[in-house]
Structure 1
Amino acid sequence: MQQQSLENAPGLPQEVEVTKLWSGVGFRLGNMMLVTPLDHVLEILPPPPAAVVPGVKPWLKGIANVRGNLITIVDLSEYFGKPPVFQDDKSRMMIMNASGLNTGLLVNEVLGLRHFDEDLERQDLSGVDDPVLGQLTGAFLRDNVLWGVFDMKSLAESPSFRHVAA
């Protein structure tokens, strides 16, 4: 009986090398594909109606009441000097997780969670000529699509982002 048990027993598990994945929220800004770390985003929702704030830069679209919190709405595309986000069924507002700021960023589309193999990370962004480049901390290349890693926390600390008066 012991011999038969040994012959039919499953083998020991094989040692499998696990790749380390980096996860973030993917979004589209114009024709750029970007991804931001999960902890940089509090919430994603359709753009709410906003009350206009006079005397501010054109990329600040107004303020909105979201469940009792006043959220400043910034058109991220327009902030970087691009055409404003066309608000349609795909456009979204991503509320930043930044201390002291209740800010929602308008983007063209949120593409959900994206997972990347850290070994495939591409650091060389020299071929990219875009004003968004200043907020990127790297990039991932998957299926010939370059996904820039967008740093919302450095954006929140940027003096040009915090100075909204026209």
Structure 2
Amino acid sequence: MQQNAPFELLSQLRSEAIALAAQGLTYSTQSAGTKNIAYVVNGVNFYCEATDVKEVSVCENLMIVPQTKAWMRGLVNSKGVLYSVTDLSLFAGYGRAIQAKKGHLLLLAEEAVQSSILVNRVIGFRYFNESDEMSSLDDKQEALDGLSAFVDKGYRADGQDWYRLNVSKLLASEQFREVQ
């Protein structure tokens, strides 16, 4: 491969984009669309919009809060702000707690609630093509278990199912807010 080949390819793409723009069209790329954060909870792939998450962190210095539900794992201090920690696996009813030291925290962007969710693993940013959207989630209820009320969309991409957790709906639910 020639050393100039990548530059020639970029130049060609630029020329094509300019020609399309002149016709009033745009060049669509894989990253077009909504930016999402993808994560895994007990082997099930979830995602939420990146704007729903303030920060991704590790779960260090977890302060246990006695006499709360099992899924309410405690509190963490991030930059002087206390966030409640919800084990998404236990909340969903999967029956197996996430090891706090091995999991990741998604500090949610909703300032009024100051909450975080503990997940097994954060994969990173993910974009989905509209053509991969699932027409129905009815046959996925068993996999979603207790989170089915908070999942409003799904995609089948790269041979895997991905489910969107509606963070606003989760935070507004009585079930999520009642920790005792």
Q: Please tell me the TM-score bracket, short chain as reference.
A: 0.7 to 0.9
Give me the whole-angstrom Cα distance separating, in 1, the residues matched to 2:135 and 2:148. Answer: 12
Report deviation, 1:21.
2.3
| Structure 2 gap segments, 5+ residues each | 1-14
* Amino acid of the structure 1 residue aligned with 2:54: L
Percent identity between the aligned chains? Answer: 21
Aligned to 1:46: 58
What is the CA-CA distance between 1:31 and the residue it aligns to?
1.0
Matching residue of 1:5: none
The answer as to whether partners of 1:26 and 1:111 remain within 8 angstroms in 2 is: yes
The AA in structure 1 aligned to 2:75 is I
Does residue 35 of the first structure (1) align with residue 47 of the second (2)? yes
2:56–2:105 CA contact under 8 A, matched in 1: yes
Give secondary structure in 1 for the equivalent of 2:138.
coil
What does residue range 78-97 of structure 1 map to in structure 2 within 5 Å?
78-82=90-94, 83-89=96-102, 91-97=103-109
Computing the radius of gyration over CA atoms, which structure comes out larger, 1 or 2? 1
Q: Is the 8 A contact 1:74 1:106 kept in 2?
A: yes
1:18 maps to which of 19, 28, 32: 28
TM score, norm. by length of structure 2: 0.79
Where do 1:2-151 residues align within 5 Å? 13-14=19-20, 15=25, 18=28, 20-82=32-94, 83-89=96-102, 91-128=103-140, 129=142, 130-151=145-166
Distance 1:28 1:70 in 2: 24
Q: Which amino acid aligns with 2:158?
A: D
- From the two aligned structures, give the one with the greater strand fraction: 1
Measured on the aligned residues, the alpha-carbon RMSD in Å equals: 2.0
For the residues of structure 1 that align with 2:178 and 2:110, how far apart are their CA atoms? 16
Higher RCO, 1 vs 2 (CA within 8 Å, ≥6 residues apart): 1
2:168 aligned residue: 153
Q: How many residues align?
A: 155
Give 2:6's aligned residue.
none
The CA deviation at 1:86 is 2.3
For structure 1, which runs of at least 5 residues remain unmatched after alignment? 1-9
Query: Retained in 1: the 8 A contact 2:59–2:101?
Result: no
TM-score (normalised: structure 1)? 0.85
Work out whether residues 22 and 118 of structure 1, in 8 Å CA contact, stay in contact via their aligned partners in 2: no
